[in-house]
């Protein structure tokens, strides 16, 4: 330890100049995004988008990154790798809060509720493809969150302490519908409630199911729209053996 640093030093000693590519991350997504303490011997690092790779990723997170990055549909697939973990945010139409999306990772609502930041989506559950070339393709992500409970005669989807809150209404969920183009449906940019430099624009966001679900409509910049590609075989060919 650390083998990568020693290898780099050997290359430098041999006259090979190296460049630090910051999108090769030295930690896992949750460690970086939640600003958690890294494992012993590791150094905290920020997120650089789009990501190329992550380190210290367990089997669960390998599957989660795969679900974020690749959408399979009808023998073809759409590559979302360049959009993974991209952020966008904007106002919620029937609430005073602000909806925030980190694509593939979380959906939250910042408001004046006792919990402050309410996570409607803590895990990406499914991604489906709807529509066709004529009507327009939509990628629909569905996220699952925590409990949704009643507070003082209303629903507070961000309740963290069940002892302080009332009846359990069910689980919090979020639906993110992504389309390529502008919020108005054309091929240009703009028109949404989000002015960030992200390739994603939050066009609209609405609370549903009595405040237990958050629905987002998001536009993807046309130049970065995932393209339909032929599904290639992935993995090692172990042969048939004779």
Most confident range, picked from 1-5, 139-143, 146-150, 151-155: 139-143
pLDDT tops 60 at residue 134: yes
Give the tens place of pLDDT for each residue, 46-105: 889 999 889 889 999 999 999 999 999 888 899 999 999 999 998 887 666 889 999 999
Would you state the pLDDT for residue 167? 65
DSSP string of 132-153? -TTT--EEEEEEEEEEEEEETT
pLDDT tops 50 at residue 153: no
Structure-model confidence comparison of residues 30 and 232, the more confident one: 30
E strands, the chain, are: 70-73, 76-79, 87-91, 98-102, 106-110, 117-121, 123-130, 138-151, 154-156, 168-180, 200-208, 213-220, 228-230
As a whole number of Å, the end-to-end CA separation of the chain is: 42
Q: Are 16 and 32 in contact (CB under 8 A)?
A: no
pLDDT tops 70 at residue 112: no
SS3 at position 126: strand
pLDDT tops 80 at residue 160: no
**Pairwise CA distance, residues 175 & 237, whole Å:** 38
Its pTM stands at 0.78
Rounded mean pLDDT of 188-209? 69
**Pairwise CA distance, residues 225 & 227, whole Å:** 6
**Pairwise CA distance, residues 82 & 103, whole Å:** 11
pLDDT tops 50 at residue 114: no
């Amino acid at each position: 330890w650390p083998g990568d640093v020693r290898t780099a030093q050997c290359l430098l000693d041999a006259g090979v100049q190296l460049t630090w590519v910051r999108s090769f991350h030295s930690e896992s997504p949750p460690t970086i995004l939640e600003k958690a303490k890294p494992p012993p011997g590791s150094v905290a690092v920020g997120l650089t988008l789009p990501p190329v790779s992550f380190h210290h990723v367990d089997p669960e997170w390998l599957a989660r990154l795969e679900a974020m990055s690749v959408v399979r549909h009808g023998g073809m697939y759409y590559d979302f790798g360049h959009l993974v973990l991209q952020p966008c945010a904007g106002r919620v139409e029937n609430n005073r809060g602000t909806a925030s999306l980190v694509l593939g990772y979380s959906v939250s609502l910042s408001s004046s509720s006792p919990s402050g930041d309410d996570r409607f989506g803590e895990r990406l559950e499914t991604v489906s493809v709807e529509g066709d070339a004529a009507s327009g393709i939509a990628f629909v992500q569905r996220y699952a969150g925590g409990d949704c409970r009643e507070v003082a005669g209303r629903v507070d989807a961000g309740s963290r302490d069940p002892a302080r809150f009332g009846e359990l209404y069910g689980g919090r969920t979020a639906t993110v519908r992504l389309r390529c183009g502008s919020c108005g449906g054309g091929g240009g940019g703009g028109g949404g409630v989000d002015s960030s430099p992200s390739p994603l624009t939050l066009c609209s966001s609405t609370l549903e199911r009595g405040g237990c679900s958050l629905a987002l409509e998001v536009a993807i910049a046309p130049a970065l729209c995932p393209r339909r590609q032929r599904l290639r075989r992935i993995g090692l060919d172990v042969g048939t053996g004779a």
